[in-house]
Structure 1
Amino acid sequence: MIETTALGPSLGVQVTGIDNLDDETVIARCLEALKWRGVLLIRGLDLDDDAQVRFSRKLGPVLAPAGKEVFVVSLDPAKSRSAEYLKGTFHWHIDDTTNDVPAKATMLTARHVAMVGGGTEFASTYAAWENLSESERKRYEGLRVVHSFEAAQRLVQPNPTDEQLAGWRRLPTHESSLVWTRKDGRQSLVIGATADHIVGMRPDESRELLDELLAWSTQERFAYTHEWQVGDVVIWDNTGMLHRALPYDPSSERTMHRTTIAGDEAWS
């Protein structure tokens, strides 16, 4: 029998009692929990890559960047060619902010965990928006924000080489509403490490506003910290959940396998 337990006051649900990932009722319950709670945890599911891809496809089309549906998350360059870039994931972010259409959801399976640190924090920008005062909402509505890969990487390398800078700037920037209103009426904040600046605002004023919103959105009442155990599967709503990895030793064996479910609604 499927049971659900809230992980925090504003987000997160743990699902237990799953014994058949092909059961359409199970999939429907998972999708519903993911939509309204943002983060879905299934302890000890222990999926291999094939099973993870099959489960992911039940939730929606699976993206395959560079022809691979499973992406290895590791700071070990021998395991992941993106190890250097992944250092940016220690900062609060939302994936795909520089794409026209963001991924709908992300699934991680823990293959190895760090002895110390290495948890993942999540924060709900749905809840953050809903708890703003009416006057604060009016202040942010109508603003537009430019997202860039460079903004996120500068948090890791504040003094980049010319070569690094040129590489970052080869990737396109993207402008979107600061407050995203979906077709179903739900609203969230499009912020995080990639948020470079507010359109038409002085740089210092823009930075202050973005930092203020990030601090508001990531306060404890809107957040959940997941401490990984081997075999855990966590799925989150990529469009409304900020997330970040907590620090751990780069020589750690910590390894996650990631699949990404394609989105179907463009940033507004």
Structure 2
Amino acid sequence: MTAAVADKFAVQEVKPLIGAVVDASKEALLSGKFAGQIREMLEDRGVIVFSQVHFDDEEQIEFTKTLGKWVPEMRGDVFKISMDKKVNPQADYVKGAFYWHIDGTMQQVPLFASILTCKKTAPVGGNTEFCNTYAAYDALSDEEKEALGKLRVVHSFVNSQLYVDPEPSLAKYEEWEALGTNELPLVWTHDSGRKSLVLGSTADYIVGMDPLESRRLLVKLRDWATQERFSLSHTWSVGDAVLWDNTGTMHRAMAYPLDCDRQMHRTKLEGEEAFS
């Protein structure tokens, strides 16, 4: 490989407020030479696509480590996202990914970022959508920012699972309930000074607000944050790798046939700052 090819790192913005596609060789990405540039770009763009890079699991882990502290999954080094329970025993849990969410709202320090690589595409559907919660906050009026900045939201695993199974048995509900709740600010003031909205399917209710008013406001803000100008939809090709800032975006998988063999592999980066 020539030095010119090895040093290539070209960036194209997808939309004004979200997304970038990086054209770089696998070798350049694994070298870590551009890791600082990628991290700087991540907060601004939210989502970075590396088309047709074709990482295997070991290479995906190696690339992840160039960007921060890699965190192994509970079962293995990578999380194999599939609806086939032979591939992924947690297939039922994955159904929650069809709804807008931030990974880690049940912890005080959420994941910094995640990387997803495509191994098998769905025959129809299966895009992954992202929205920029920094940009969504920035576009609010000053009056809205002042009002929202005072609010706190209780997040629960129960709320996220009710999207998937709205009429659970009491025994199932109690399993979810045992995982507890977590109270977080609606507006996250980051160490950088920037602010973003903390929303998603785990957002149960706003503290001290009438339940129906609380629900309406959370729906309104989700609708605001996921509108076209703040969001993008990535159509997968085998070999694609997508990196996203979990602290400044929400994401969800779009519907696809549950009996198909769509398969993604995820690696993740340890959180670096607490919700505040």
TMscore range, shorter length? over 0.9
Matches within 5 A, 1:221-232: 221-232=229-240
Distance 1:26 1:139 in 2: 40
Deviations 1:179-235 (A, max 9, x none): 000111010000010000001111111101100000000000000100000000000
Distance 2:208 2:12 in 1: 44
Cα drift, residue 25 of structure 1: 2.9
- 2:32, 2:63 within 8 Å by CA — same for their partners in 1? no
Residue 147 of structure 1: aligned partner: 155
Cα drift, residue 169 of structure 1: 1.1
Letter in 1 for 2:113: A
Q: TM-score scaled to structure 1, two decimals?
A: 0.97
Residue 8 of structure 1: aligned partner: 15
More deviation, 59-68/140-149: 59-68
Q: TM-score scaled to structure 2, two decimals?
A: 0.95
- 2:125, 2:255 within 8 Å by CA — same for their partners in 1? yes
Unaligned runs of 5+ in 2: 1-7
Distance 1:162 1:62 in 2: 37
Unaligned runs of 5+ in 1: none
Residue 167 of structure 1: aligned partner: 175
Distance 1:83 1:9 in 2: 35
- 1:7, 1:14 within 8 Å by CA — same for their partners in 2? yes
Letter in 1 for 2:185: S
Distance 1:181 1:100 in 2: 14
Cα drift, residue 23 of structure 1: 3.1
- 1:62, 1:69 within 8 Å by CA — same for their partners in 2? no
Matches within 5 A, 1:152-231: 152-231=160-239
Matches within 5 A, 1:25-174: 25-66=33-74, 68-174=76-182
CA RMSD, 1 decimal: 1.1
Distance 2:92 2:75 in 1: 21
Distance 2:143 2:160 in 1: 29
How many residues align structurally? 268
Letter in 2 for 1:11: I
Matched, 1:264 2:269: no
Letter in 1 for 2:85: P
Deviations 1:156-192 (A, max 9, x none): 1111111210111121311111000011101000001
Deviations 1:84-129 (A, max 9, x none): 1111111111110001110000100100000100000000110100
Distance 2:11 2:57 in 1: 25
Distance 1:178 1:210 in 2: 10
Cα drift, residue 75 of structure 1: 1.3
Q: How much identity, in percent, do the aligned residues show?
A: 44
